[in-house]
Amino acid sequence: MNRKWAKKFKEAGIKIIFRAVTPTAENTREAIEAGVDVIIATGFDEGGTIPAKVIGTFAILPLIVDATDGKVPVVAAGGLVDKRTVRAAFDLGAEGVYAGTAFLATEESPLAENIKQDMLKYDANDLLMFRTPNSLYRSLPGELPEKLLEMDKQGKSVAEIWAAAGDYNCFLYVMHDGDLSRGIASFGLGISSIHSIDPVSVVVDRLNSGVIA
């Protein structure tokens, strides 16, 4: 946590939400000392840039909650897509949830339509995972993701794998254009519990039902 910028934000009256790529008790305490207002505890279940430590959401969440010592609220991230997962997060001390994959599978999402339909065909067991400069990425099966996985198995360097992926353009080609021959479709493990493409309002109600249950 950059204390200089934290101080500037606080002096300007800006609330700070801190989300470490790989959350630990240490960086949580450092962030609190720097003056952050909210901590996001991200588990290995998430989509996008995956934490370097293979610690699931429901294992990292209570660790981070305990590390805050009640000083700031904790928001859970990773695999939270329905009533059950949200309720579990709140039972473990979360005071909010950070959802991504759940909202990609909505009618309003700009995600390519063929990728939305693919989300309904696959579950967590089907996702492919390979090394990247930041840590790891996972993707729906497809021509390029399968090539990247094979490169990883062959021991190719991270630089070689990422060059073959096309850098961050790999997300644009799939998430917007729907072309799995040119990019990767990154989702969290909560994909297993997504069975329909619904309006955002339905997804919000579904998540909220886990809070008020």
Question: Can you say whether the dihedral through the CA atoms of 63, 64, 65, 66 is positive or negative?
Answer: positive
Q: Which amino acid is it at 36?
A: V
What is the CATH architecture assignment of 3-103? Alpha-Beta Barrel (3.20)
pLDDT tens digits along 12-33: 999 999 999 999 999 999 999 9
Residue % of the chain over a pLDDT of 70:
100
Please indicate whether residue 49 or residue 58 has the higher confidence score (pLDDT).
Answer: 58
Residue 87's pLDDT is: 97
Residue 213's pLDDT is: 59
Grade residue 145 by pLDDT with cuts at 50, 70 and 90. Answer: very high
Residue 59 clears pLDDT 80, i.e. is over it: yes
Grade residue 1 by pLDDT with cuts at 50, 70 and 90. Answer: confident
Residue 135 clears pLDDT 90, i.e. is over it: no
Grade residue 207 by pLDDT with cuts at 50, 70 and 90. Answer: very high
Cα–Cα distances (Å) from 53 to 46, 100, 143, in that order, read 12, 20, 28
Which whole number is the average pLDDT over 146-155? Answer: 97
- Terminus-to-terminus CA distance in the chain, angstroms? 35
Question: Can you say whether the dihedral through the CA atoms of 79, 186, 42, 9 is positive or negative?
Answer: negative
Residue 142's pLDDT is: 96
What does the domain layout of the chain look like in residue ranges?
Answer: 3-103, 128-186
Residue 134 clears pLDDT 90, i.e. is over it: no
Phi, psi dihedral angles at 111 (to 5 degrees): -55, 140
If you average pLDDT over every residue of the chain, what do you get?
95
Residue 38's pLDDT is: 98
